[in-house]
Chain A
């Protein structure tokens, strides 16, 4: 069964610093999709960044980037120059090929210290 694991229930970082959130997953597939979603206290989950497994290049969206290690089945999220508005629950998600469902990790609560 496909599973997603986020081993850090909580993380904190100083404003303007860099933080990395960990995510590992288990799958026997070779072509799949990975996502990071952010859920601020207002509750709506917002897509932060996405990665196709067939692409070797790590995805980047402004201050957000991923370190995708396919062999290690690792998909970490790096947030550079952390801002107060980055405080949220972050969910890593996996989508199998040909499927519509997302398989989520447990989430990491990120706190930004001013």
Chain B
């Protein structure tokens, strides 16, 4: 069964540095997402991406964050100047159709990757 893959599994970065987290969504999926989970807290939505533009974002997703689909397979999350509070597990997800549309309507689940653990020192 196709999977969402994320690299690296663990990233250690100095505070203030830029970091890029990489994801390869499932190949025929059109919608892409980033979530994060700070240790001991809930999984939180960051952003969704469709047709080469952001379709929805949360308050967390401020100017220090950006997303990009640089080619036909990768989907990246960039954090420009990392802060200690950016330390978290970051999950990428993808879905085939827009939730609520397509065959099966709302039955278009988001498929998640294993996550990248980001540690800011």
A28 within 8 A of B: no
Q: Return A78 CB to nearest CB of chain B, in Å.
A: 20
| Bound-state Cα–Cα, A100 to B97, Å | 10
Main SS class of interface, A: loop
Whether A43 pairs with B114 at a CB distance below 8 angstroms is yes
Whether B112 pairs with A33 at a CB distance below 8 angstroms is no
Main SS class of interface, B: loop
Q: Return A68 CB to nearest CB of chain B, in Å.
A: 14
| Inter-chain contacts of B76 with A (CB < 8 A) | none
B45 within 8 A of A: yes
| Bound-state Cα–Cα, A110 to B33, Å | 27
Whether A44 pairs with B3 at a CB distance below 8 angstroms is yes
Contact (A45, B91) CB under 8 Å given A33-B99, A50-B109, A100-B56? yes
A-B contact pairs, 18 of them (CB 8 A): A35-B109, A42-B114, A44-B112, A44-B114, A45-B91, A47-B111, A52-B107, A97-B100, A99-B56, A100-B31, A100-B99, A101-B45, A102-B43, A103-B45, A104-B35, A104-B42, A104-B44, A107-B42
Question: Which B residues are within 8 Å of any A CB, using their own CB?
Answer: 3-4, 31, 33, 35, 41-45, 48, 55-56, 58, 89, 91, 98-100, 105-107, 109-115
